[in-house]
Amino acid sequence: MKAPTLHDVAAEAGVSIKTVSRVVNGATTVDPELRTRVEEVVERLQYVPNTLARSLKAGTGDTIGVVIDTIADPFFASLTSAVEDVALEAGLGTVFGSTGFDSARERSQVSRMAMQRVRALILAPTAGGHEYLQQVRPALPVVLVDRAVADGSYDVVRVDDEGLAHQAVAHLTARGHRRIAFVGSDKRFITTRHRLDGYHRALAEVDTSADPELVRPGPTRDVDATEETLDLLALKEPPTAIFAANPRAAIGVAHALHTTSRPDVAFISFGDFPLARTLEPAVTFVDQDPSAIGAAAMERVLAHLDGTAGQTQDIIVPTRLVERGSGEIEVRR
Amino acid sequence: MKAPTLHDVAAEAGVSIKTVSRVVNGATTVDPELRTRVEEVVERLQYVPNTLARSLKAGTGDTIGVVIDTIADPFFASLTSAVEDVALEAGLGTVFGSTGFDSARERSQVSRMAMQRVRALILAPTAGGHEYLQQVRPALPVVLVDRAVADGSYDVVRVDDEGLAHQAVAHLTARGHRRIAFVGSDKRFITTRHRLDGYHRALAEVDTSADPELVRPGPTRDVDATEETLDLLALKEPPTAIFAANPRAAIGVAHALHTTSRPDVAFISFGDFPLARTLEPAVTFVDQDPSAIGAAAMERVLAHLDGTAGQTQDIIVPTRLVERGSGEIEVRR
DNA sequence: GTGAAAGCGCTAACAC
DNA sequence: GTGTTAGCGCTTTCAC
């Protein structure tokens, strides 16, 4: 039981294959009588046009590819959702693939998408090398999201990691904090390193250097961030404030702070998370705006497809620090 | 600057197009010398096989389609992530489309996927009619997730909404609660109605009928659930316990409960959410296990593709109630 | 072990 | 306004 083709419809309606094609594609130059006859047969045979064939003919597909760490991460889920919304308006579908933070898997996902002839690729690059991308590029516009790669020749849409981390930590130093801990998720990520740079710069501005004991860029799961935080609180000289470098880490930190009843520790998160506004005190955060990043990336893709992209761009999506209480706690005297 | 084809490689290597095809597809029956020559040219020309053409020839694509409310919902993000993991092992890619709860958009997403000749469809149906699905079905295995449609002839993978809601509410009545509020997200969803049924049954078992004032199935955003909760708490006879019918509503309820300092109100959520374990008291919940649903749905899809699917199945993924404190609060005397 | 030719479903020329 | 033809890139006979 195969799907009917243009040919089948044409035979059934007693017209040529091309006439059916015209009807299906809404051409106006078709005799009204033939048109209705064809439409009737299309309906009866349940004819569904085959995009594969169309795309093969056209030389390019009608989907755009999104390759990210994992769709289960709310940051990337929002980002991808925004990409889909913009893509859909342009009549493009969305395929996605997750890397699981593995650069070999990233390569295989990208390769699969290149074989599928996606129109363009939106990629959150892993920590690995990206020379291979040069090879797909001629055929395929690539827009990076969230982080750049060493080779600066790609379009990127991201936030100002260094600057925002600096702003957050300066927010804390302005309230007298000097022992400020840094809890991140994975030092291998360039974003974590940039946020760490901002952290150090803010401390340097108040003539302080970070106590290595307070710098924990490592955890990859919440529970680790919780453990790191518990460990920090148990130090001889514990931190008076904590900067969490991403929402995942922040959730772990928040858990530790609450289960040990330490609302006196100042706390700022890089990225919002559900219930951050509900905790006592509510969690001050730097907004990451994933959906703005996704929408901007997709707009950039459309520009490439239009041929209006011009020079390589490094787009910094504007964000802000939202004061909710936890970041405004003054240092204890 | 077009992508090179088998033909280009063949010409360059001085062999036939078929030999190149064999090499690319890893056939063993190729002269080693020719093989290396071809491989060298493939590398030099950056040849990328065209899946579109392969699929056209094969008559079917190599992706599976996932159509859900929105990928920004953590429930569906986890579900989709699990689908992708299983699909990838089977060598299949994942396309997704969101309905935005709109049944017209659902139809257009499904239609787009049918045109793309996805191998199978995993669908979380909207509230609208689904007669149209009958038409795609012959060509396309369909597995529903999270909720069924009126026509019971589709495979479904879901949890036991009625039974779990009953279990949650019975958990509350067992602790003396009789004034138990129901806060949902959208009455139009069949899942909400099933959960409401379970709610009513549990109350009936203790010879109580629900006070209509306490039943709020309507909110669609957190802020609404927050407002509904504040309104409930302000009643002359407020509820002593609240059952939130989904995580989105639960986040709203939790916010209201915490900002008004009402830890005395018992509370159970249908579905876990980040920080549910961190709040005071930690939130008791019924597990929804989205990733088990996604994995089971994809396994079912693979069975269809193997031709081993057999009868239509209604798969109920086992779940459990996790006691964390908020659901174990006894009624005040 | 290798190659020539046909055809997957469609659209874009180009006749009629 | 409508039909015929060629060919998109690939795989699959079936000869050699």
Alpha helices, DSSP H only, in chain B? 6-13, 17-24, 32-45, 51-58, 74-89, 103-115, 133-136, 161-173, 190-204, 222-233, 247-259, 290-306
pLDDT at res. A332:
79
pLDDT at res. B2:
78
Q: What is the pLDDT of residues B117-165, one digit of tens each?
A: 999 999 999 988 899 999 888 889 999 999 999 888 999 999 999 999 9
User: Using 50, 70 and 90 to split pLDDT, how confident is the model at B3?
Assistant: confident
Give the C-alpha distances (Å, rounded to integers) separating A259 from A248, B163, B236, B250: 17, 32, 34, 20
**Distance of B305 CA from D10 C1′ (whole Å):** 23
Asked if the model's pLDDT at residue B19 lies above 80, the reply is: yes
Looking at the complex, does the CB of residue A93 fall below 8 Å from at least one CB of chain B?
A: yes
Residue B183 near residue B253 (C-beta atoms within 8 A): yes
**Distance of B113 CA from C2 C1′ (whole Å):** 39
> Using the CA of A19, which nucleotide's C1' is the nearest one?
D2
**Distance of B17 CA from C3 C1′ (whole Å):** 8
- C-alpha B175/C-alpha A322 separation (Å) is 41
> Using the CA of B7, which nucleotide's C1' is the nearest one?
D9
User: Using 50, 70 and 90 to split pLDDT, how confident is the model at B54?
Assistant: very high
Mean pLDDT of B206-220: 91
Looking at the complex, does the CB of residue A221 fall below 8 Å from at least one CB of chain B?
A: no
Q: Does residue A26 sit in helix, strand or coil? A: coil
Measured between beta carbons, the chain A residues lying within 8 angstroms of B112 are: 51, 93
pLDDT at res. A1:
64
Question: What does the pLDDT profile of chain A (333 residues) look like in tens digits?
Answer: 678 999 999 998 999 999 999 999 888 888 888 899 999 999 999 999 999 999 999 989 999 999 999 999 999 999 999 999 999 999 999 999 999 999 999 999 999 999 999 999 999 999 888 999 998 888 899 999 999 998 889 999 999 999 999 999 999 999 999 999 999 988 878 899 999 999 999 999 999 999 999 999 887 777 789 999 999 999 999 999 999 999 999 999 999 999 999 999 999 999 999 999 999 999 999 999 999 999 999 999 999 999 999 999 999 999 999 999 999 999 976
Going by C-alpha positions, the residue among A127, A135, A92 that lies closest to residue A110 is A135
- C-alpha A122/C-alpha B211 separation (Å) is 51
Q: Answer whether A115 sits within 8 Å of B49, measured CB to CB.
A: yes
**Distance of A26 CA from D6 C1′ (whole Å):** 23
- C-alpha B155/C-alpha B148 separation (Å) is 8
Distance from CA of B262 to the nearest CA of A (A): 13
Looking at the complex, does the CB of residue B77 fall below 8 Å from at least one CB of chain A?
A: yes
> Using the CA of A57, which nucleotide's C1' is the nearest one?
D8
pLDDT at res. B186:
81
pLDDT at res. B32:
87
Interface test with A, best of B48, B52, B64, B95 (most A CBs within 10 A): B52
The reply to whether the CB atom of residue B17 sits less than 7 A from any atom in nucleic acid chain D is yes
The reply to whether the CB atom of residue B7 sits less than 7 A from any atom in nucleic acid chain C is no
The reply to whether the CB atom of residue B27 sits less than 7 A from any atom in nucleic acid chain D is no
Tokens 């990451």 correspond to A288
- Lowest average pLDDT, out of A189-203, A317-331, B27-41, B175-189, goes to B27-41
Asked if the model's pLDDT at residue B323 lies above 70, the reply is: yes
- C-alpha A45/C-alpha A4 separation (Å) is 7
Q: Answer whether A274 sits within 8 Å of B251, measured CB to CB.
A: yes
Sequence letter at residue A13: A
| pTM attached to this predicted model | 0.94
Distance from CA of B106 to the nearest CA of A (A): 13
Going by C-alpha positions, the residue among B270, B83, B23, B209 that lies closest to residue A71 is B83
Mean pLDDT of chain B: 94
**Distance of B234 CA from C7 C1′ (whole Å):** 73
Q: Answer whether B273 sits within 8 Å of A277, measured CB to CB.
A: no
Distance from CA of A42 to the nearest CA of B (A): 12
> Using the CA of A16, which nucleotide's C1' is the nearest one?
D3
Q: Which domains does chain B have, with CATH numbers?
A: 56-159+292-316 (3.40.50.2300), 161-287 (3.40.50.2300)
Residue A76 near residue A69 (C-beta atoms within 8 A): yes
* Out of A74, A95, A280, closest to residue B74 by CB: A74
pLDDT at res. A189:
82
With a CB cutoff of 8 Å and minimum separation 6, the contacts of B7 are: B17
pLDDT at res. B1:
64
* Out of B71, B94, B275, closest to residue A95 by CB: B94
pLDDT at res. B333:
65
Q: Answer whether A48 sits within 8 Å of B72, measured CB to CB.
A: no
**Distance of A18 CA from C13 C1′ (whole Å):** 12
- Residues 34-63 on A with a CB inside 8 Å of B are 46, 48-53, 55-56, 59, 61, 63
Query: Number of helices (H) and strands (E), helices first, in chain A?
Result: 12, 12
The reply to whether the CB atom of residue B18 sits less than 7 A from any atom in nucleic acid chain D is yes
pLDDT at res. A218:
82
Q: What is the pLDDT of residues B287-310, one digit of tens each?
A: 999 999 999 999 999 999 999 999
Q: Answer whether B275 sits within 8 Å of A275, measured CB to CB.
A: yes
Query: Number of helices (H) and strands (E), helices first, in chain B?
Result: 12, 12
CA pseudo-torsion sign B150, B156, B162, B168: negative
Q: Answer whether A52 sits within 8 Å of B48, measured CB to CB.
A: no
The reply to whether the CB atom of residue A60 sits less than 7 A from any atom in nucleic acid chain C is no
Tokens 């880490």 correspond to A249
Q: Which two structure tokens, joined as six digits, stand for A312? A: 């390589």
With a CB cutoff of 8 Å and minimum separation 6, the contacts of A64 are: A83, A87, A92, A93, A94, A95, A118, A119, A120, A121, A122, A298, A301
**Distance of B4 CA from D16 C1′ (whole Å):** 29
Q: Which helix (H) or strand (E) holds A282?
A: none
